[in-house]
Amino acid sequence: MTKISISRLNPVTDHEIAALVSTEARNELAEHITEAAPQPAPRSWWRRRLIVGIPLVAAAATAAAVVAFSSGWVGLQRAEAAALSFQREGDYLVVRVQDPNADPERYREEFQQRGMDIDLKLAPTSPDKAGKVLFIEDGDDPAGRLEAVEGSCGERACSVAVKVPVSYRSHASIVFGRAAEQGEMYDTGPDDEPGAGIGLPGIDQYTVAEAAAILRARDVSIEYRYRYRGSDRPYPHGVPADKVDPNWYIHDGLRGSEDQAILFVGPEPEG
């Protein structure tokens, strides 16, 4: 084998080049190059080297992983965006509420996607009724009846569900209770504390002036009903606001129409 001297590949040495170029010229040239050539930031240079240095196979695998992860993430976001979940159990679909704050129209749309005409709603109520059925109505469908599964229901999570026959096609409506938010008004029942439904529990301890000031600060309008010794006379259709004494007693407070409170008032405490 023929050996080739490395020196023959570069017949001109550095010393010889230095001898051909004066020291002053070399310094001027070095200064010019230093000023003209931009110096890349070490981090950017290192990042570029990493990118360039990845083998094509590894780059393809990484890209595939990113696509798969992205697709999985999109799928996860879509699953989380669903307001209801549907699970088959024999001849029934168990429909659970995943988003208790969703617009009821979203619930209806997700039922419609499965050919079902069902209205589901979560209405504000007292804490002890959260997660319980407030109202249910279903048709006499040959497939069977709806079964409500009560549970707990707070602001961000619910365990309530409805069991619906798979082939159910009649109209149905169901309302679950959820805990009312601070100051939120709701319909009350016989066992609820006076004033709880308009965000003023213990309202029978307030005067008209005190309760009215709080409600108006919340942009709630007020309608007055008269009650005196068990009678609504002489105001059977409600007492005008200008006839209400600010120091009268309040017997109860109920939710009226949207953003409206009905106060039952009179010149004497009840009972």
What does the alpha-carbon distance between residue 186 and residue 183 come to, in Å, rounded to a whole number?
10
Residues 165-208 have pLDDT tens digits of 999 999 999 999 998 887 789 998 878 899 999 999 999 999 99
Q: List the chain residues with pLDDT less than 50.
A: 1-21, 29, 32-34, 36-70, 73-80
Smallest Cα–Cα separation from 219: which of 260, 186, 271, 163?
Answer: 260
The pTM assigned to this predicted structure is 0.60
pLDDT of residue 256: 92
8 Cα distance to chain centroid: 77
Residues 21-31 have pLDDT tens digits of 455 555 554 55
Three state DSSP letters for 49-117: HHHHHCCHHHHHHHHHHHHHHHHHHHHHHHHHHCCEEEEEECCEEEEEECCCCCCHHHHHHHHHCCCCC
Tokens of 158: 């619910």
pLDDT of residue 204: 92
pLDDT of residue 258: 82
What does the alpha-carbon distance between residue 44 and residue 29 come to, in Å, rounded to a whole number?
27
Smallest Cα–Cα separation from 187: which of 199, 172, 197, 202?
Answer: 197
pLDDT of residue 23: 52
